[in-house]
Amino acid sequence: MPATVLVIHWRRVRGSLTVRFYCAKKAHSEAGDSVVSRAKQGLLLVFALLCAAALPCSDIRAARADDQAAVSAPVSAPSLPIVSDARLAGDTNQTRFVLDLDKPVAFRAFTLPDPYRIVLDMGQVDFHLPTGAGVNGRGLVKAFRYGMVMPGGSRIVFDLTGPARIASATMLEAANGQPPRLVLELEQVDQATFNQTLSPDLRSELKPAVAAAPPVAAPQTVPAKPAGPPDPRPVVVIDPGHGGVDNGTQSGEEAEKNLVLAFGLALRDRLEKSGKYRVVMTRSDDTFIPLNDRVKIAHDEKAALFVSIHADALPKGEGDAQGATIYTLSDKASDAEAQRLADAENRADAIGGVNLGDEPTDVADILIDLAQRETRTFSNRFARMLMSEMKNATRMHKRPLKSAGFRVLKAPDVPSVLVELGYVSNKGDMEHLASDAWRSKTAAAIAHAIDAFLAKRLATAGPSN
């Protein structure tokens, strides 16, 4: 039988007695809970009422409000450092870069060749910079890009006009009304001096900067799944292009990386809803993933299919184009436009600040294994099925099937296609890319093509050993 529990709390505020009280129902957890008699509860209640009668109502309301605020106040997680401004000054001999933040951050900076770049890594920050920041450079810097490069880490990549070295890199504390500032001093050098700034074992990981940075929030742990038999469903890898420091193509304030991520997530949800596949995303947030890592994910997951999602754009002054295009891998591009696109997409690692001369050894094996014609045959077969389904849902390019040497399609044992959903440089395509209804309809078409392709392939596959 539940017991009534009366809690009384009093204190003096501004010379008057403030009483807080409330009643609650408490379930019996043991027999001793019934010891408190109703008589004692009655006396306590009378005492509380007498105390309350001697107080102004405003004091009682204030006390009650204080208690409610104390109970309802959320516990806020530590906030990310905010980057509020970034600017360049100087000339082609010496250039200064200044980054304004609201709190100091741990960082490291290093140089990369081919093309000449400087990479600034730091713990994860929240960039509050105006649209177009970094597009126009100054002095030794042609342009710079910024974004998250991995969970817990952010990156700024500077494209240089020529060889340069980092003369100094300093994190200044707030002083004289100025916010904390990260300052890079760059100076022009010759090729031999630039080469001396390169570390032979330099990798693009953020570990030094991230390890030194204070934790921003405790990640929510996910309970481990109980051990059991492996999931027999085929694996489909969805690869939203670009991400983090690599924005991809741009149309106004809409970056390709955000458009293709939204589409990739919609396609994932569609496939998972069917229950037929285990879906793996190369990225599910605004994170930069190197091209080789995307290929490795498909290979390591023993994927049955790899679908890379992108959006194209024609340079200004080169006419207009519209519609979706499906690309497969080939040693020779099917046309000049396919070659242009492949060259642009294959620069993603350079854009993201990856050391291109430091590829893992298994990449060489992947390039050799491209001789496996069976994988390319399956890729081409899926591309044709995909075109047949997509043309019923969206506008297709006048030449919807093309091929070129895309690095992201080079998994030797995984049928792979790259889908350019449309052109952000075309007004009609851009309206589609930003439309939830179009996204849902086109994702459904791609899902139907995946169903048809994998159903046929699994039906004709021999028994596994």
Confidence of residue 206 (pLDDT cuts 50, 70, 90): low
Q: 235-460: which CATH number, 3.40.630.40, 3.40.50.2300, 3.30.70.560, 3.30.450.20?
A: 3.40.630.40
Each residue of 108-159: pLDDT tens digit?
Answer: 999 999 899 999 999 999 999 988 899 899 999 999 999 988 888 999 999 9
What is the structure's pLDDT at 31? 39
Picking from 94-103, 115-124, 258-267, 332-341, which range would have the lowest pLDDT averaged per residue? 332-341
Each residue of 252-289: pLDDT tens digit?
Answer: 778 899 999 999 999 999 999 999 999 999 999 999 99
What is the structure's pLDDT at 307? 98
What is the structure's pLDDT at 386? 97
Picking from 35-49, 188-202, 287-301, 419-433, which range would have the lowest pLDDT averaged per residue? 35-49
Whether the pLDDT of residue 325 is over 70: the answer is: yes
- Share above pLDDT 70 across residues of the chain, in percent, rounded to a whole number: 72
Each residue of 53-66: pLDDT tens digit?
Answer: 444 444 434 444 44
What mean pLDDT value characterizes the chain?
Answer: 80
**What mean pLDDT is predicted for residues 205-224?**
49
Whether the pLDDT of residue 188 is over 70: the answer is: yes
Each residue of 374-386: pLDDT tens digit?
Answer: 889 999 999 999 9
Whether the pLDDT of residue 2 is over 60: the answer is: no
Better-predicted residue by pLDDT, 383 or 314? 383
Selection from 210-214, 265-269, 354-358 with the highest mean pLDDT? 265-269
What is the structure's pLDDT at 316? 73
Picking from 136-140, 198-202, 209-213, which range would have the lowest pLDDT averaged per residue? 209-213
Whether the pLDDT of residue 1 is over 60: the answer is: no
**What mean pLDDT is predicted for residues 334-341?**
88
Q: Is the pTM of this model over 0.75?
A: no
Whether the pLDDT of residue 224 is over 60: the answer is: no
Domain edges within the chain: 3-72, 82-212, 235-460
What is the structure's pLDDT at 162? 96
Confidence of residue 250 (pLDDT cuts 50, 70, 90): confident
**Secondary structure (H, E, C), the chain:** CCEEEEEEEEEEECCEEEEEEEEEEECCCCHHHHHCCHHHHHHHHHHHHHHHHCCCHHHHHHHHHHHHHHHHCCCCCCCCCEEEEEEEEECCCEEEEEEEECCCCCEEEEEECCCCEEEEEEECCEECCCCCCCCCCECCEEEEEEEEEECCEEEEEEEECCCEEEEEEEEECCECCECCEEEEEEEECCHHHHHHCCCCCCCCCCHHHHHHCCCCCCCCCCCCCCCCCCCCCCEEEEEECCECCECCCEECCEEHHHHHHHHHHHHHHHHHHHCCCEEEECCCCCCCCCHHHHHHHHHHCCCCEEEEEEEECCCCCCCCCCCEEEEEECCCCCCHHHHHHHHHHCCHHHHHCCCCCCCCCHHHHHHHHCCCHHHHHHHHHHHHHHHHHHCCCCCEEEEEEEEECCHHHCCCCCCEEEEEEEECCCHHHHHHHCCHHHHHHHHHHHHHHHHHHHHHHHHHCCCCC
What is the structure's pLDDT at 355? 74
Q: 82-212 and 235-460: same fold?
A: no
Class of domain 82-212: mainly beta
What is the structure's pLDDT at 211? 55
What is the structure's pLDDT at 185? 97
What is the structure's pLDDT at 46? 47
